[in-house]
Amino acid sequence: MQDKNQYIDELITRYFESQATPSELEELDCWLQEDERNMRQFLRRQNLYDATHPAFPPESIDTLRALRALKTRLRRSRRIVLWKRAAAAVAAIALVAGCVWLFAPRRHNPERPRQLAETVRPADTTLAVKLTLPTGEEIFLSKTERRDIVADSGTVAKVDHSGLAYKPQTTDTDSVVYHELSVPRGSDFFLELSDGTRLWLNAETTVRYPIRFARGERRIFVDGEAYLEVKRDTASPFSVMLAGSEITVLGTSFNVNSYPERSEAQVTLVSGKVNVRDSESGKGLTLRPGEQALIPRAEGGIHKRKVDTRLYCGWKDGVLVFKSNTMEEILRTLARQYDVEIYWHDESLKQYTFSGELKRYDSIDTLLRMIEHTDNVRFTVHGRQVIVARP
């Protein structure tokens, strides 16, 4: 039996020499998707091939031409199974074409245009938002349909195109019933609590809250990132519980960011006044508009600094703002917002910095192209994978 690595090398070479059949392109595409290391092996083989062969002329990697040729062949056969294979073949052509186009040495064609293999947009924000009831029942919410959320007392909330809104109500008892809302990668969601407090929930965020607040106390739990506009009620302070810290407010607007991979949680105040307390050390401080509290996870303590709130809260208005952020920070954010996986061909690229803005619902390649203008990095997009490498 032929050694698999040798066979893959021959398959890649057949692609470079435009000799691969549609079935071989489909096989190559499947192999590239199996493991990040396969993509790296492909890029190494491509670099070696470029060193000893002329670069591919643009017409040889014209994916539209490939698509037209395959469709012509399909019309002759009219077989559905061949259509599926052709689609996979075109995907493989697009992937490898993107790799060759982006990573070919500049000396071959310094004026070449840049293109990404595929556009990736944020996942549909109406899908996979999960509401968990006290019974453990899970309801998947969609903004495209209207529905009522029912508890023992009847309808407690409604879902529509704007999000999930609870009916105004309180309870006279100390016991409260909690719901939990989970927003997946590539999504965001709007939530209005029974007291009128409004929350914008970012991707990969979970919030746990009472369907009715007890008198004298309002408390919710946030894991991830949320922007809050708290309804003022002097008789019932509002508390947000993060991992290791507590935020207490009366009525204000602020952003909390407590994603688990961060070394510190952030609380950014836009208006009003909040008190932030570190649960471990017991230390607390008061924030005023334009200030941010930093709560390290590794050691107790808390401190604050002046910030441009738009850098931390712009996402709520559909804008991602970066100012001298590292490439690692930027792509981590984009991975969450657009539900993609990031693969680093060169780890040193993580420390490159970039400043710029991106409308939240633009395609991801808009920002990737902006970053590419720094001339220090190139991106290949394949499906929901983004490969980061040097030019």
Residue 115 scores a pLDDT above 50: no
The mean per-residue pLDDT over the stretch 369-383 comes to: 82
Query: Is-contact 230 196, C-beta < 8 A?
Result: no
Who has greater pLDDT, 371 or 331?
331
Query: Is-contact 184 128, C-beta < 8 A?
Result: yes
pLDDT value of residue 42: 80
Segment (H or E) for 219: strand 218-223
**Nearest-angstrom CA–CA distance, 103 and 151:** 57
Residue 57 scores a pLDDT above 80: no
Query: Is-contact 381 119, C-beta < 8 A?
Result: yes
Residue-wise pLDDT tens digits, 192-221: 999 999 999 999 999 999 999 988 889 999
Residue 313 scores a pLDDT above 60: yes
Residue 54 scores a pLDDT above 80: no
Residue 38 scores a pLDDT above 70: yes
- The token duo for 39 is 């993509």
pLDDT value of residue 48: 60
Q: Where does the pLDDT of residue 172 fall: very low under 50, low under 70, confident under 90, or very high at 90 and above?
A: low
The mean per-residue pLDDT over the stretch 307-322 comes to: 91
Helices 36-52 and 22-34: crossing angle in degrees, nearest 10, is 120
Residues of the chain with CATH 3.55.50.30: 318-389
Query: Is-contact 298 263, C-beta < 8 A?
Result: yes
Who has greater pLDDT, 293 or 296?
293
- The token duo for 385 is 């994978």
pLDDT value of residue 95: 43
The mean per-residue pLDDT over the stretch 242-262 comes to: 90
The mean per-residue pLDDT over the stretch 33-59 comes to: 64
Q: Nearest CA to 169 among 214, 208, 207, 131?
A: 214
CATH of domain 318-389: 3.55.50.30
Beta strands in 105-177 (DSSP E): 129-132, 138-141, 147-151, 154-160, 163-166, 170-171
The mean per-residue pLDDT over the stretch 112-124 comes to: 42
Global model pTM greater than 0.85: no
Query: φ and ψ at 22, to 5 degrees?
Result: -55, -40
Helices 4-16 and 36-52: crossing angle in degrees, nearest 10, is 50
Q: Where does the pLDDT of residue 300 fall: very low under 50, low under 70, confident under 90, or very high at 90 and above?
A: low
Query: Is-contact 337 367, C-beta < 8 A?
Result: no
Cβ partners under 8 Å of residue 125, min gap 6: 143, 186, 187, 188, 189
Residues facing residue 238 across a β-bridge: 218, 249
pLDDT value of residue 169: 78
Q: Where does the pLDDT of residue 82 fall: very low under 50, low under 70, confident under 90, or very high at 90 and above?
A: very low
Residues of the chain with CATH 2.60.120.1440: 129-313
Report the residue count for the chain.
391
Q: Nearest CA to 251 among 220, 273, 276?
A: 273
pLDDT value of residue 96: 42
Hey, what CATH topology would domain 129-313 get?
Answer: Jelly Rolls (2.60.120)
Q: Between vectors from CA 218 to CA 212 and to CA 221, what angle results, nearest 5°?
A: 95
Query: Is-contact 197 231, C-beta < 8 A?
Result: yes
- Coil/strand/helix, residue 216: coil
Residue-wise pLDDT tens digits, 134-162: 989 999 987 777 889 988 778 889 998 88
Residue 8: left if φ>0, alpha if ψ -120 to 50, beta else—which one?
alpha
Q: Between vectors from CA 346 to CA 341 and to CA 351, what angle results, nearest 5°?
A: 85
Who has greater pLDDT, 256 or 105?
256
Q: Which of 25-39, 116-130, 351-365 has the lowest mean pLDDT?
A: 116-130
Q: Which of 55-69, 228-242, 253-267, 305-319 has the lowest mean pLDDT?
A: 55-69
Who has greater pLDDT, 181 or 368?
181
What distance lies between CA 127 and its chain's CA centroid? 14
Query: Is-contact 102 382, C-beta < 8 A?
Result: no
Alpha-carbon distances, residue 130 vs 136, 167, 204 (angstroms): 12, 19, 11
**Nearest-angstrom CA–CA distance, 278 and 292:** 14
Who has greater pLDDT, 214 or 1?
214
- The token duo for 247 is 């935020």
Query: Is-contact 85 23, C-beta < 8 A?
Result: yes
pLDDT value of residue 276: 93
- The token duo for 300 is 């107790």
pLDDT value of residue 375: 65
pLDDT value of residue 90: 43
Report percent pLDDT > 90 for the chain. Answer: 37
pLDDT value of residue 44: 66
pLDDT value of residue 2: 47
Who has greater pLDDT, 95 or 303?
303
pLDDT value of residue 344: 95
Task: Give 60's DSSP letter.
Answer: G
